[in-house]
Amino acid sequence: MLAPVRSGAATAPARGMMSDMGRPRRRVRVVVALVGAAAQLGACSPPPPDLPATIGCTYQYRPDAGASAGERSGTVEVLGTTGPATAPAVTELPDFRMEVVYVAAGPEGASVRIAVDDPAGEPLHHVLYQVDAGADLSSTSHGFTGLHYVSSGPAELQYFCVADG
């Protein structure tokens, strides 16, 4: 049991924190080191078996929403990770910057974060999908996200994401 810690010049160490020899115990440092190592190993682990290994976000970009001139389209594949420090998959377009992060198992559970900003970094559209364990992410025609439209001036970005398996 720990004793209350007092502040000021007469502060005494809490009972249980010093060894019989008067040296600090190393147990706390070892536990912190082990927790840190486990977190680093967890970031390299595959997603839990009930979640897809990857998701794919399909996008279509038009510099002028009313015309197909300059149109671009593609799919961004994002591998699920199990750590909070996950690098996003980034798609750079003339009028938009889209980031997608898929955390298959993290401190707050599984999630997909999609952020669309303008080229200056101003947020245009940010969305977070939190996925419960065992959730059905089966794909419909526009995936688990539905079809999203993001506009900036005359430009338009459409996207949707599906579970790839």
3-state helix, strand, coil in the chain (%, to 5): 10, 40, 55
> What confidence tens digit (pLDDT) does each residue in 112-132 have?
999 999 999 999 999 999 887
Q: Is the pTM of this model over 0.95?
A: no
**What is the H or E stretch that residue 39 is in?**
helix 27-42
Distance CA 147, CA 4 (A): 57
Where along the chain do its domains lie? 1-42, 54-163
Distance CA 120, CA 42 (A): 34
> What confidence tens digit (pLDDT) does each residue in 71-95 have?
999 999 999 887 666 789 999 999 9
Structure-block tokens of residue 116: 């669309």
